[in-house]
Amino acid sequence: MGHTPVMRQSILERIVEERVGQSLVGNVSTAIDRIAEEIATEALQEESFRHVLRELVHRRSEEMLEQLLRTPRRTKRRPRP
């Protein structure tokens, strides 16, 4: 059973690997955001979608408002002596 030695990366190699990874992820994330914005823009051009979306947002807003009104206010606790 052969064992291949694990090569340790230099500090420079680790920095390069980390930065390349961060840059790649950042750029791909930006591209995904742009595509999602395009799709959303196209979807919002459809009247039926806008109607359904408005109804959903309206319903959820009402639910959240009701929840806020039901949440009891917390009173500050006095420190124990």
Q: What is the pTM (predicted TM-score) of this model?
A: 0.56
pLDDT digits (tens, 9 = 90+) for 52-73: 999 999 999 999 999 999 977 7
Those residues whose C-beta lies under 8 Å from the C-beta of residue 43, and which sit 6 or more positions away, are: 49
pLDDT digits (tens, 9 = 90+) for 28-38: 999 999 999 99
CA dihedral for 42, 47, 50, 56, sign (positive or negative)? negative
CA dihedral for 41, 44, 49, 51, sign (positive or negative)? positive
